[in-house]
Amino acid sequence: MTMSVLEGALAFGFTALGLALAMNLWRLLKGPGVTDRILALDTMVINVIGLIVLAGISGGSGTSFEAALLLAMVGFVGTVAYAKFLLRGDIIE
Amino acid sequence: MSGPAAIAELLAAALIVLGAGFALVGSWGLVRLPSLMERLHGPTKASTLGMGAMLVASVVWFQLGEGVWTTHELLISLFLFVTAPISANMIAKVHLHRLRTAELSGGACEPAGPAGRPTPPPGSADWATHEAPHEGTPGDLAGD
């Protein structure tokens, strides 16, 4: 079985992003502070966006990019809401 | 396969490998670095460079491989470039705020990294919250 260059690169990309997600999960569980957990969640969202983009290239359809864009927006709003809550004790004042 | 399609495939493959490598190194930094201020560095570089490279790979692949221009990727990339510094700044503000309140109450803090502790703000002011300006801080108009 021969693999094209792009298939090899995609396999490497999926593996690397999976490993990255596992490391983020470790940081999310270990902490030690709540700030580390927010940072780990933010990084997980970024890596999942990367996975969706790779899946879009691999599947050959352009429809998965709406999902990636939505995830980017929701992830940003979530991070800012966590940070705002810890800074002010309230999200919308 | 030859000509433009082969070049597009090679270019897209190289960009995918570059982007995924950056994401992996960024997450490795998140695991390995000793203090939060240093841990902030890894993932922010990964999100701009890593995701940027992967999104450009996607644009190249769909344009030269299938002949369609897709601009969603550029939109995602622009959005990430705008939001990554903002969320990193918010996380750093939370960190400084918590460090400061822990020091004031005499609680235990995380060990300082090679860069050392952040310098304390003047007087009784706190970093990064939106309270009324304290004496000696930039927002304090009466003290000028």
Contact A79 B91 (CB under 8 A): yes
CA distance B107 to B100: 10
Cβ B51 vs Cβ A50: under 8 Å: yes
- Greater model confidence, B59 or B133: B59
User: Closest partner residue to B70 among A19, A23, A62, by Cβ?
Assistant: A62
Tokens of A14: 């999926």
pLDDT at residue B144, as a whole number = 44
Which of B115, B140, B102 has its CA nearest to residue B40?
B115
**How does the average pLDDT of chain B come out, rounded?**
77
CA separation for the pair A39, A24 (Å, rounded): 9
In a domain, A59, yes or no: yes
User: When comparing pLDDT for B45 and A20, which is higher?
Assistant: A20
- Judging contacts by C-beta atoms under 8 Å, the chain B residues touching residue A40 are 30
A20/B24 Cβ within 8 A = yes
Flag whether pLDDT at B24 surpasses 80. yes
In a domain, A60, yes or no: yes
Does a structural domain hold residue A35? yes
pLDDT at B130 over 50: yes
For tokens 């999960």, the residue is A25
* pLDDT in the model for residue B112: 59
Q: What is the pLDDT of residue A39?
A: 92
pTM of the model: 0.81
pLDDT band of B116, cuts 50, 70, 90? low
pLDDT top residue among A57 and B5 = A57
pLDDT at B37 over 90: no
Q: pLDDT-derived band of residue A74, with 50, 70 and 90 as boundaries?
A: very high
Flag whether A2 is in a domain: no
Residue A92 lies in a domain: no
Cα A64–A81–A42 angle (5° rounding)?
A: 50
Q: Supply angle C-alpha A73, B54, A30, rounded to 5.
A: 65
- Residue tagged 């570059």 (tokens): B18
Q: For the packed helices B72-104 and A34-59, what is the interaxial angle rounded to 10 degrees?
A: 170
Residue pointed to by tokens 């999942």:
A48
Nearest to B78, CA basis, from B102, B56, B45, B93 = B56
**Any domain includes A93:** no
Asked if residue B16 lies in contact with residue A26, where contact means CB atoms within 8 angstroms, the answer is no
Residue B129 to residue A87, Cβ atoms within 8 A: yes
Q: What is the CATH number of the domain that holds A60?
A: 1.10.287
Distance CA B137, CA B122 (A): 7
pLDDT tier at B124 (50, 70, 90 boundaries)? low
Task: Look up the domain containing A44 and give its range.
Answer: 7-86
The token pair that represents A77 in the structure block: 């709003």
The amino acid at B21? G
Kindly state whether residue A32 falls inside one of the protein's structural domains.
yes
For the stretch B50-73, pLDDT in tens is: 888 988 888 888 877 677 777 778
Higher-confidence residue of B143 and B109: namely B109
A54-63, A80-89, B10-19, B107-116: the lowest-pLDDT one:
B107-116
Number of structural domains (chain A) is 1
Interface probe, candidates A28, A37, A46, chain B, greatest B C-beta count within 10 A: A46
Rounded to a whole number of angstroms, the distance from the CA of B70 to the nearest CA of chain A is 8
pLDDT-based confidence at residue A79 (cuts at 50, 70, 90): very high
Q: Is the pLDDT of residue B108 over 60?
A: no
Return the structure tokens found at B58: 């996607």
- pLDDT value at residue B43: 86
Predicted interface score ipTM higher than 0.90: no
* Rounded Cα–Cα distance for residues B32 and B38 (Å): 10
Residue with more model confidence, B20 or B1: B20
Dihedral angle over CA of B36, B38, B41, B46, nearest 10: -80
Domain membership flag for residue A91: no
The pLDDT tens digits for A28-48 are: 998 788 889 999 999 999 999
pLDDT at B125 over 60: no
